[in-house]
Chains A and B, each alone.
Chain A
Amino acid sequence: MSSYRIQGATGEWEVVIGLEVHAQITSNAKLFSGASTAFGAEPNAQVSLVDAAMPGMLPVPNRECIRQAVRTGMAIDAQINRWSRFDRKNYFYADLPQGYQISQLYHPLVGEGHIEIEPAEGETKTVGIERIHVEQDAGKLMHDQHPTRSYVDLNRSGVALMEIVSRPDMRSPAEAGAYIRKLRSILRYVGSCDGNMEEGSMRADVNVSVRRPGEPFGTRTETKNVNSVRFVMAAIEHEASRQVDVIEGGGKIVQETRLFDPDKGETRSMRSKEDAHDYRYFPDPDLLPLELDDVFLAECRDSLPELPDAKRARYQDGLGLSAYNAAVLTADVETARWFESLLSECSDKVAPKAAANWVISDLFGALNRLGKDIGDSPVTPAQGAELLGLVADGTLSGTLAKQVFEIMLETGNDPAKIVEEKGLKQTSDTGAIEEVIAKVLAANPGQLEQYRGGKEALFGFFVGQTMKAMGGKANPAVVNELLKKALG
């Protein structure tokens, strides 16, 4: 369990965190209109009559958005409500053409669920999910286009969002960070949200309160629209400390909405409960209740992929990977897909463990250096499999494989071709190796004497010298064997 505590002037404080994550549903069209949802279009290029709330326009639910939300619910083992309903949340703002947001207050699509997080290695925790409901996004105001006017871009207006509401189960910034990362991982696996926080596809409202350990919940504040894992953690850290300062200074926490300023790393008040809108929620009379039938639900369930926790367990138990490697390879769906594609291309001689090690150390290292995601890896899974095959059949030593891999990254060529062209094939020619060993021993009489005098650790020195003299192309196993013989 987490023992994250804030040390106040009067003692220790525990932080209580709940997150409301808004995730844009991956779909070609908006929640209630046929307009496109592609990112980066010219302002107001993706606005239908419905999105602009022209007189007499009516919403029609997009089946794919509902399907994605249901699949997401299934992925977090949640209750799927066969009967749900849309409500209107009424308020005036220039980015909200209808004057209300269509959301789900009273009867959400998805009920109670949970996800497992790993805030630190080897430490797991279950975070409850209260609900997932589906709602419309608003448009965007642009205040920087004109000295005295504001402009409205309605491209996002009506885009489908899932609001995923957690229980107040997290107790540290690390847990909150792990929760968001895990949630994002699940959403990407399911394919219901791209999880891209920079483009605004995922953002979090962060609810924070503090209390003395073991005491009832304190008053919470809600920090709106935080758009990165790092910022969520920073916002919690700042907000929790601020609350402790307020309480210890004799003040009271007011329930309010706050904003996070990433430049200053602090939260500030946006509006208090007293100025909170009365949203006048009521069932949207333009829409019938959503009723899900067995066929629809079965399709949703059948189309779910293997999810990260299951995959991770399979990598450990089935493929024999270490817990760490299994965790790293399954955290992101793209990585897992790449890895599985690699395995499917590998010959039987390649151990999954070896493949995993290669991906995590060699491939990730290279991608890091190049600043690329695994999706744009210059080396394909088939090429990776070929390289691993050359190591497995003894054609390449580990050192040579690294050299070949570098050339693959530069040229994009297949490893066999590189080996052929550059003559990088490792040798097991005992005559040649024995010749070199003899030279190495002759050139290092001092070390030889020490070794023979009992300093057996020097064996590695002779291996290194031999390999170096052979340009790294000698088969290390053969070198070991012949050296042992030569050293007596």
Chain B
Amino acid sequence: MTDLTDLGVAAIRDGVRDGTFSAREIATAFNEKVAKAKALNAFLVETPEHALAAADAADKAKASGDLKPLSGVPIGMKDLFCTEGVQTTAASKMLEGFKPTYESTVSGKLFDAGAGMLGKLNMDQFAMGSSNETSAFGNVISPWRRNDGGNAPLAPGGSSGGSSAAIAARLCPGATGTDTGGSIRQPAAFTGISGIKPTYGRCSRWGVIAFASSLDQAGPMARDVRDCAILLEAMSGFDPKDSTSLDIAVPKWEAGLSSNLKGKRVGIPKEYRVDGMPAEIDALWTQGVEWLKDAGAEIVEVSLPHTKYALPAYYIIAPAEASSNLARYDGVRYGLRDLPDGANLQDMYAATRAAGFGPEVKRRIMIGTYVLSAGFYDAYYTQAQKVRTLISRDFDKAWESCDLLLAPTAPSAAFALGEKSADPIAMYLNDVFTVPSSLAGLPAMSVPGGLDGQGLPLGLQIIGKALDEQTVLNAGLAIEERAGFTARPEAWW
């Protein structure tokens, strides 16, 4: 008999529907896997009872013929999503013990669609990081290891590193992620799974702990493209509680899946060929071009001339918004409060925020505070917003000659934990290919393309026009079918 935890979202949904297995069997199998995988540190909170309750509801629904789109599917929830009655911390000491009295719109939609929750997934603190090393509760360790026998613990990517590691290790068939500058795509690439950041405004931000409001966007992570399409359909939709939510219908992405790309033009952005990029990544990119050609697409070279300014602009805009978004963590109403003897209000703020935020969060708050300060605002924030507009225009111009873009997801395979944590700039460079589409609010996806020489997964990124997730998913499917990526980490945990 196959291991039930090897099944993906679609397979579980269909199996429960067809009576191949019960939802309870599925939930039990994943609960056991989660409980045994502590070494990965992917889960901050395990909620086996939640998964079981949803499973029982699914089995009942099966009996009464009331199955919902995700009945029987247990998922992991990034700890950035507020979950009613379940601790939600954004992996920060600041919110340790915080149990929301409310359910985020996205998690609520998933539960309404029948999904159960296996637990809350570890992440970079307040979604700030690319390696999971900024979590206040210890970093996630990637289930992957290099084939050099060295067993160096590797980064699962970030910030959605708990999600990527858990899926790659078959602890859950799918999970939520959030992407501000690449936080779904880069960890997906590092762990050999798929993940899509939809168009900004597709998924409600209500109840998602904010990092950078104009960039934050939730999306699914799963083992293949179809599973991403299924989860994204359940997560998307207009929410009147989020002013930036898009008031448009959610397409039937799963039904629309097709790997035939005839008539589609794929742009290859020449500025994404950066110095020092490993040859294996370049080779995979070339391979990806061939796969898409094979799927019927026409290939064109395009230019996104302002690409090199994207990263600096991002590291002004995102920290600026974060410095303001995180001001609410002040020790007054909830979360951590550090009130030294004889402290006044200012002392309490200082002590609470010093104790509650990790170093990367503090760094970004300080950068953000600086760039918004009187006298610096125009030089930094205003300039960065102009760059953002130019980057959007770059994409608009590219769409005149193509329908989607193909690029690598990250400039390297997973690096070892500790390798970049002392050098913030090196860490920020990880986002170089993912940030431009975030700034433009475009849908973008990472799918696994192959392994590098060290046996580590590499991802290919597809960027689409606003609201055209379907083409992005379809191109992802075309690559998936041709890459035949079946590699998986060997269980050592």
Contacts and interface: CB of A to CB of B under 8 A. Distances in A.
Contacts of B369: 280
A49 B84 CA distance: 13
Given A54-B100, A56-B210, A58-B206, A286 B243 contact: yes
Given A58-B206, A90-B372, A53 B243 contact: no
Nearest to B215: A285
A288 B205 CA distance: 14
Contacts of A281: 372, 377
Contacts of A58: 205-206, 241-243
Interface in B348-404: 349, 369, 372-374, 377, 381
Given A58-B205, A285-B214, A99 B240 contact: no
A87 to B, nearest CB: 10
Contact of A286 (B244, B323, B326, B327): B244
Contacts of A288: 243-244
Contacts of B240: 60
A98 interface: yes
A55 B88 contact: yes
Interface in A105-155: 150, 152
Contacts of A60: 240-243
B213 interface: yes
A55 B328 contact: yes
Given A56-B208, A58-B206, A287-B243, A94 B345 contact: yes
Contacts of B88: 55
A451 interface: no
A100 B327 contact: yes
A282 B381 contact: yes
B26 interface: no
A406 B117 CA distance: 76
User: Quick one: which of B90, B240, B332 has the most chain A CB within 10 A?
Assistant: B332
B77 to A, nearest CB: 13
Nearest to A282: B372
Interface in A18-58: 49, 52-58
A56 B104 contact: yes
Interface in B410-460: none
B324 interface: yes
Contacts of A94: 330, 332, 345
A284 B256 CA distance: 36
B324 A100 contact: yes
A200 interface: no
Contacts of A59: 243
A94 B345 CA distance: 8
User: Quick one: which of B81, B90, B330 has the most chain A CB within 10 A?
Assistant: B330
Contact of A90 (B98, B208, B214, B324): B324
Contact of B209 (A49, A55, A100, A286): A55
A242 to B, nearest CB: 29
B478 interface: no
A289 to B, nearest CB: 10
A71 interface: no
B82 interface: yes
User: Quick one: which of A53, A58, A98, A99 has the most chain B CB within 10 A?
Assistant: A58
A92 B330 contact: yes
A98 B328 contact: yes
Given A97-B332, A100-B327, A57 B372 contact: no
Interface string B231-262: 00000000011111000000000000000000
A54 B374 CA distance: 28
A286 B200 CA distance: 12
A249 B23 CA distance: 87
A230 B209 CA distance: 47
B327 A99 contact: yes
A280 B368 CA distance: 10
Nearest to A94: B332
A88 B327 CA distance: 12
Contacts of B467: none
A405 to B, nearest CB: 55
Given A53-B328, A55-B100, A150-B345, 11 more contacts: A55-B88, A56-B82, A58-B241, A97-B328, A152-B332, A278-B373, A278-B374, A280-B324, A282-B324, A282-B372, A285-B212
4 closest residue pairs by CB, A with B: A99-B327, A280-B372, A285-B213, A285-B214
